[in-house]
Amino acid sequence: MRKARLLNWTAGAGPRIGWAARVREAGAPLAVRPYRLHFTARVLSWTGSAVSPIALAFAVLHIGGGAGALGLVLAASVAPQILLLLVGGVVADRVPRARVMLWSNIVCAFFEGLAAVLLWLGTARVWQLVFMSGICGAAAAFFNPAAGGIVKEVVPAEARHAANALLKIAQNLVKVSGPALGGLLVAAFGSAWAIGWDAATFAASALLFARIDLKPGAVKVKTGCLADLRDGWTDFRSCRWLWVMVVQGAFVVPVWLVGYQLLGPVYGERFLGGAGLWGLVVSGFTAGLVAGAAVALMWRPRMVGRVVCVGTGSLALPLAAMAAAAPLPVLVAATAAAGTGLAVSMTVWSGLVQERIPADRLSRALSYSTLGQLVPVPFGYLLAGPVSRAVGVRGTLAGGALVIVLAAVVPLLIRQVRALALAGQPVHEPVPTETVGVSAPGVKARGSGGGEGSSDSGVPAGAGG
């Protein structure tokens, strides 16, 4: 009986199939030409983006800038995304998404290439790198909602879960080797060549996006941008399950980034003995991301809402381990478990959002979701210093772990979240269907089209995955 229940849990929407058939089906999306072009373009772009941060940091230092100048460059890449993300979602719903991605990549290729040339010539200034970073950040505000919506357009519904998982595996594999490759490129050839490589990958990706030829969708009545924004907000607010999970992400994302990315290295320096051992912890997280994406490729869970909440809650493990001064092997294992849970939850969340949100509104929904998790991050960074000075680094990490656990558990008190499931996967608890953009399990959402989430590693799935 227990074995039967386990098979029922893992079987997914279709008939039960063996592992050999699952492996064959896992690669099925690559047989679809538009998806294959999209997949190859994304992988190329990720190889450039993986080396860009370290190249940009050393470029700023090389031309005489300090930590403050580097902070300006980094802030310039984030601020336009906050300001333009909703507009980017509207544009991605009104204009063919492949075209939006094409021109976003062309813009980034041009300005990063220009920055590389200035660095080669030895004439680059900090303000020029700030300007370049701002332009690329603005382009990302348009690219990300489009990228979050295009998978639904290029892949049949039955292959969409595998398509999301393949993208996540490729992205995480690049992130494992990317920083090391960036360091080698900068050390061997200089920052200009590394930034030039990023520009070249943007250009190559643009060529591939230009070859994605999709059938035109239904002609839509053109309305104003503000009207589209209002419609997007109405749809977002009407989807109770969506905004509840975005609120979850608004708590979890800044707490996780503060605990892992900001206080984590501080913990490594004070309690582990330096960057070398903290690097092992980071390696555990990246290994977990790859393992989790592989698990998601082979496993299509039934109760999506519960899986997403459990995966989000796993991010509390490394913060709790650091707060308890756990031995290094325990900390590495906890971080690997967090990476695995995060990758699984992000993948299944992407599939759920793609299924439930109509294609012509998907990019706007994703832009509202991403904005909801992005806005609190600067406030988290600002509060981290005063709080850690008041209660200590380990005390702050313990509080962060508690916040993540609470944020993961509270949505499960809502029946609609507990009952979230992909179409064709019946649940015992009914989900209301009267809200805009929400369809009951087993009922296909209206529209045809949309996307792989744009969330990066270290960002939980509940807020737009």
Question: DSSP label at 458?
Answer: T
The answer to whether the beta carbons of residues 60 and 186 sit under 8 Å apart is: no
The predicted pLDDT at position 154 comes to 79
Q: Do domains 31-156+175-216 and 223-465 have the same CATH topology?
A: yes
CB atoms within 10 A of CB 389: 10
The answer to whether the beta carbons of residues 358 and 232 sit under 8 Å apart is: no
216: left (phi over 0), alpha (psi -120 to 50) or beta: beta
Q: Which fold has domain 223-465?
A: Growth Hormone; Chain: A; (1.20.1250)
CA atoms within 13 A on the CB side of 268: 19
| Contacts of 184 by beta carbon, 8 Å cutoff, 6+ apart | none
Residue in this structure with the two tokens 């992205």, named with its chain if needed: 171
The predicted pLDDT at position 433 comes to 35
Query: What tens digit of pLDDT does each residue of 205-234 get?
Result: 999 998 887 665 444 445 566 766 676 677
| Contacts of 99 by beta carbon, 8 Å cutoff, 6+ apart | none
The answer to whether the beta carbons of residues 441 and 419 sit under 8 Å apart is: yes
Show me where the domains of the chain are located. 31-156+175-216, 223-465
CA proximity to 459, closest of 242, 173, 249: 249
| Exposure letters 343-377 (e unless 16+ CB within 10 A, then b) | bbbbbbbbbbbbbbbbbbbbbbbbbbbbbbbbebb
Taking the CA atoms of 85, 87, 92 and 93 in sequence, report the sign of the dihedral they define: positive
The total number of residues written for the chain in this structure: 465
The predicted pLDDT at position 221 comes to 45
Q: Cα(212)–Cα(99) distance, rounded to whole angstroms?
A: 9
From residue 380, alpha-carbon distances to 40, 234, 386, 387 in Å are 35, 28, 11, 10
The predicted pLDDT at position 336 comes to 92
Taking the CA atoms of 364, 365, 366 and 370 in sequence, report the sign of the dihedral they define: positive
Rounded to the nearest 10 degrees, the angle between the axes of helix 376-391 and helix 240-256 is 40
The answer to whether the beta carbons of residues 150 and 38 sit under 8 Å apart is: yes
The answer to whether the beta carbons of residues 57 and 195 sit under 8 Å apart is: no
Q: Which fold has domain 31-156+175-216?
A: Growth Hormone; Chain: A; (1.20.1250)
From residue 176, alpha-carbon distances to 161, 184, 286, 290, 291 in Å are 23, 14, 6, 9, 12
Q: Cα(226)–Cα(364) distance, rounded to whole angstroms?
A: 12
| Contacts of 318 by beta carbon, 8 Å cutoff, 6+ apart | 259, 260, 264, 281, 285, 331, 334, 335, 338
The predicted pLDDT at position 71 comes to 64
| Positions in the chain short of pLDDT 70 | 1-27, 66-68, 70-71, 177-183, 214-225, 227-229, 231-232, 235, 275-276, 359-360, 422-465
Render 355-372 in DSSP notation, one character per residue: HHS-GGGHHHHHHHHHHH
Question: DSSP label at 95?
Answer: S
Render 46-57 in DSSP notation, one character per residue: HHHHHHHHHHHH
Q: Residue 146: what are its φ and ψ, rounded to 5°? A: -70, -45
The predicted pLDDT at position 429 comes to 41
* Rg (the chain; Cα; Å): 22
CA proximity to 434, closest of 242, 240, 244, 247: 240
pTM: 0.66
CB atoms within 10 A of CB 303: 20
